[in-house]
Structure 1
């Protein structure tokens, strides 16, 4: 058991070193100018090892976001429904629980740096959109399996889309505001974005 535990810790350290190196080098030298060889040489791993953890440079750079949503889906599978709570509230609370479960050793800085890079790197942005689509479908599947919603119930897709929109709005508000970004501030931005959703649906145009 100790051997497996040591192996798992070593794998986690290697994965984290690849993420940290990727984010730093992309910020310093540019995403396109940084090769996979550059990353592997600095971390002292082979390309074969790199591909055990990630499918591409984009995948490595977006790992902090991927980790958050992996925790979200794991939590969603087991989270107890609260009487009287809406699905949107459950998705919000599940996301906040996933946020609280993220590692304390630098995850906040990594996800902020990753988002800043994605904003100026088209291939990262495209990868992020594909990931968002996969996540949307995964969340919808969990909700239907757990709560028996019909396959063609549009409300399920819409509520998941709204939750993801609130997340993206909160993340950008948090990342691009002046000053250092803390986990508590991200949680506050998430609360604010989710609270604004009902009013955004009934928002009227000029003259009303």
Structure 2
């Protein structure tokens, strides 16, 4: 139990650290700017390299050679090959948790979840929108990466539930599951063309359809 809690806390800390890469603000010190450039180079190269050669068949050393960094430098920035491959996904959910904290908690919780996602998508920069679609394709093509992504998703869902702290934990869990399913449906509709401006509208449509879908009759 203690190990699981430590791992969960470490993962959420990593979420916060990657969030800075989604904004245009420059870190205050030269050392921080250099670290940000290294993280970005690793993330960009990982998506390109794994997309060309396949995630499962590409060793970590191939990425390190491309970016010209040591293993020590890599592990100061990322925990694993899976971690760097999922940078765009973790950026999204890190930003989402921050947006959720800033969203007014009034009215239907489904609307609160949607408002936080729309605020998150508005915050993401062009670099993220460029890297996110190939990241999703990497996940779809790699069982190992898919498993890592699912584990991360469960961690985030637990954190969302903790932040909302609804009166009925079972119903809250179901609502979050439905919201995540609606998000994935929106991504499925978005992926063929991947136009950044279309994703918020697709998320709105998907969440609206979620409500009517629950009322479907046989």
Fold conserved between structures, TM > 0.5: yes
| 1:54-107 alpha-carbon deviations (Å, 9 max, x no partner) | 22211111110110110110111222234xx31111110101111111122x21
* Residue matched to 1:167: 183
C-alpha distance in structure 2 between counterparts of 1:154 and 1:131, whole Å? 20
| 1:110-151 alpha-carbon deviations (Å, 9 max, x no partner) | 11000011111101110111011001100000001xxxx33x
* Residue matched to 1:124: 145
* Residue matched to 1:183: 196
1:6 lines up with 2:30 in the alignment: yes
* Within-5 A mapping of 1:52-91: 52-82=76-106, 85-91=107-113
**CA-atom RMSD in angstroms:** 1.7
| 1:22-55 alpha-carbon deviations (Å, 9 max, x no partner) | 1111111111221111111111111121112222
Cα pair distance change 1:81/1:120, threshold 3 Å: same
C-alpha distance in structure 2 between counterparts of 1:164 and 1:8, whole Å? 34
Normalised by the length of structure 1, the TM-score is 0.87
* Residue matched to 2:130: 109
| Gaps in structure 1 of 5+ consecutive residues | none
Whether the aligned pair in 1 keeps the contact of 2:51 and 2:138 (CA below 8 Å) is yes
* Residue matched to 1:194: 207
1:137 lines up with 2:158 in the alignment: yes
Normalised by the length of structure 2, the TM-score is 0.83
C-alpha distance in structure 2 between counterparts of 1:138 and 1:125, whole Å? 20
Aligned residues: 193
Moved over 3 A (4+): none
Q: How much has 1:184 moved relative to structure 2?
A: 1.1
Whether the aligned pair in 1 keeps the contact of 2:110 and 2:175 (CA below 8 Å) is yes
